[in-house]
Chains A and B, each alone.
Chain A
Amino acid sequence: MTEGLALIAPWLIAAGVGFFLTGALGLWRFPDAYARLHALTKADNLGLGLLCLGLACQAASLSAALKLLLVWGLVLVASSIGATLIASTALARGLRPVTRRGSRRGARRGARRGSRDS
């Protein structure tokens, strides 16, 4: 049982880091704040969850493993509710999302600006 857990732990950690890299890519390249919100709250939290799970497989005691999972739960609560707070406030302030039909010009301008700055 323990050997099996120790065997899958590196894979879980590697998958978690992969999700973090994906989230960073999204934060860098996505066209507007709403899309970047998705990149962060989904990819990064999944990455942290896999990483915590992988480390919990290697943890010395059950209480240490449970503490790792508590950290993940807290980040989930904070970032999921935080995402709704930021998104609804941004929408109420009139920050317009970039849509394919509505403002194609805006989307292309955003993409070009992003590539020039990168």
Chain B
Amino acid sequence: MSAFVIGFDLLLGAGLLWLAWQALFHPQPFAAVVHFMAFGLMMALAWVRLEALDIALAEAAIGAGVTGALLLAALGRLPDGPTPRRLLRAWQRPPVALALGSVLLLSLWLVWVAWQLPRPGLAAEVTAALPESGVRHPVTAVLLNLRALDTLLEVAVMLGAVWLVWSLGPELRPYAPVTALPGLPALTRLLHPLFLMVPAYLLWRGSHAPGGAFPAGAVLGAGGILLLLADGVPWMQRPEHQPLLRLLLAAGLVLFLGLALGGLLLTGTFFAIPLAIAGLAILAVEVAIALSIALMLMACYLFGEPGR
């Protein structure tokens, strides 16, 4: 049993290091991207071994699904072939060495600081506060009640990313595929009901088991990207639907902020959610955040502002 577990972990770690090295230093950008996608797959397995199932779910949805698709689509816009190897000039070497050295020192310092952290962590405090949070799963309680400010800022950062992508210019029209692909609409039609059902299942599970808004939003976003590939969401590009699209993109952040301000009005503390409505309020915010995250991922995938 223990020999098996150690062997499994060693092989997994070696595979992860190999994939990370190739993703960074493979001469062909396409091969590097595929290595990165495989890295996301293996990383989800590593999170499972670390018993962090919530992160494994998010890594499976975002790392292996959405990020890989974004990078592959970006590659389709770049010239093919290996990148030319650039050697450093003489005057460039000292600053590069300085930067590498400081990064190394910083990471060593981070490892030392992490080693100094109190050992059992904050699990006992979270378990003690769980009855007052309105949900039964500790990770959901931390994300949406106890440390809700962090989650609010994360959603704001994602909205900022969409803003940045859209500010680069109008939406890019994709090149046509090299041949007719009748399988693609069939694939979309078969999988689409499941792409709606699985996020709903993850949201429902989030209140008592691993799951929740982030994996649900990422899966919904991946389904949306599949629809975009088959030209299934023309309304996103139409000018008359732009106000609705922007409203939905901001809905998660706005509802979350409204919850925080409501707590401030009712109890006098920012983000203090009264226990009576906590379960329901968290569920409503989770649904709104999941929808917003899905639309944000699709909006990034347009590579520019639609309807312009």
Listed in ascending order, the chain A residues whose CB lies under 8 Å from chain B are 74, 77-78, 81-82, 84-85, 88-89, 91-93
Contact = CB atoms under 8 A, between A and B. Distances in A.
A78 B179 contact: no
Contacts of B184: 81, 85
Nearest to A91: B179
B145 to A, nearest CB: 30
Interface residues of B, number: 11
A93 B177 CA distance: 10
Contact of A89 (B177, B186, B191, B194): B177
B187 A77 contact: yes
B183 interface: yes
B53 to A, nearest CB: 16
Nearest to A94: B178
List of 8 A-B pairs having minimum Cβ-Cβ separation, nearest first = A92-B179, A92-B178, A81-B187, A81-B183, A84-B183, A85-B183, A77-B190, A88-B179
B90 interface: no
A91 B177 CA distance: 12
A93 B179 CA distance: 9
A77 to B, nearest CB: 5
Contacts of B190: 77, 81
Nearest to A92: B179
A81 B186 contact: yes
Contacts of A85: 181, 183-184, 187
A6 to B, nearest CB: 21
Contacts of B187: 77-78, 81-82, 85
